[in-house]
Structure 1
Amino acid sequence: MAACIFCKIIKGEIPCFKLFESDKTLAFLDINPLSKGHALVIPKFHGATLTDIPDEHLSELLPVAKKLATATGAVNFNILQNNGRIAHQIVDHVHFHMIPKPNEQEGLGISWPQKETDMEALKALFEEIKPKV
């Protein structure tokens, strides 16, 4: 896609600090890092959300994120992938963040608004989703 910043990075039109590259995957340092070593792992296949990417273009993404975590020495880290605006996606090209969490102040800060479980509703949801998987 012509206007996609990540596609421009893939084509070499915009420079990056490349950490890994294969025929299907590119990983580079984030230019607006949340912590030291914050990197992005992207498929070279353009798609806005995870469901837009063929499985064969997804196979390297998590192994590369794992390599980056190991390379940075991160013991605590987040792997983050957002889909859609209300899920906080800004760039419309699938990307995984590998964000080291060296201490309480650096890295990704999140809250987890856990809700009380309605077991009957959970069972109904299970019965709805399971046949589709």
Structure 2
Amino acid sequence: MATAAECVFCQIVAGELPAHRIHEDGAAVAFLDQRPLFPGHTLVVPRAHVETLTDLAEESVGPYFTAVRRVAAAVERGMEADGSFVAENNRISQSVPHLHTHVVPRRRKDGLRGFFWPRHHYADETEARRVAARVRAEV
């Protein structure tokens, strides 16, 4: 587990590392990804050092996602995109252990395929009900 002092994103939030900032408010800072899928690919991070969405304090969820929403709209308008892809990883495939949400401008037939995962059907309704019950029990 990285400490806030060791965290690259915390250093960007603190102004200790350079980044092309897009937006900042009391809850979040948004900046261009250094290795974008497409130009305009932006990362939104909470100011507080938390590793995953489930670590984000309940009272911070609304303000954080308000910033994500604002950035998604700005990326779409600014890049004249048809839409956007908004995603975040928790632990697996999370290159920096600090919560961050990707906002990627999308265009029809833009060729973005490898970023998506294969989708499958449930074997039957029984399996779907069993999976739903397991997750529902944890809510």
TM-score with structure 1 length normalisation?
0.84
Structure 2 gaps of 5+ residues are: none
Which residue of 120, 124, 133 maps to 2:130?
Answer: 124
Equivalent position of 2:82 in the other structure: 75
CA contact (8 A) 1:35 1:106 kept: no
Contact 2:44/2:101 (8 A) holds in 1:
yes
1:77-127 Cα deviation digits (max 9, x unpaired): 11110111xx31110000001001235346574333222322112212222
TM-score norm. by structure 2 comes to 0.81
Name which of 12, 15, 19 aligns with 2:15: 12
Give percent identity, aligned residues only.
32
Query: Could you say if the C-alpha distance between residues 111 and 29 of structure 1 is closer, same or farther in structure 2, counting changes exceeding 3 Å?
Result: closer
Matches within 5 A, 1:102-117: 102-105=107-110, 109-117=114-122
RMSD: 2.0
Residues 77 and 98, structure 1, Cα contact 8 Å, conserved in 2: yes
Q: How much does 1:45 deviate?
A: 1.3
Aligned-pair CA distance for 1:47: 1.4
Distance in 2, Cα, partners of 1:106 & 1:39: 19
For residue 53 of structure 1, report the CA deviation from its aligned partner: 1.4
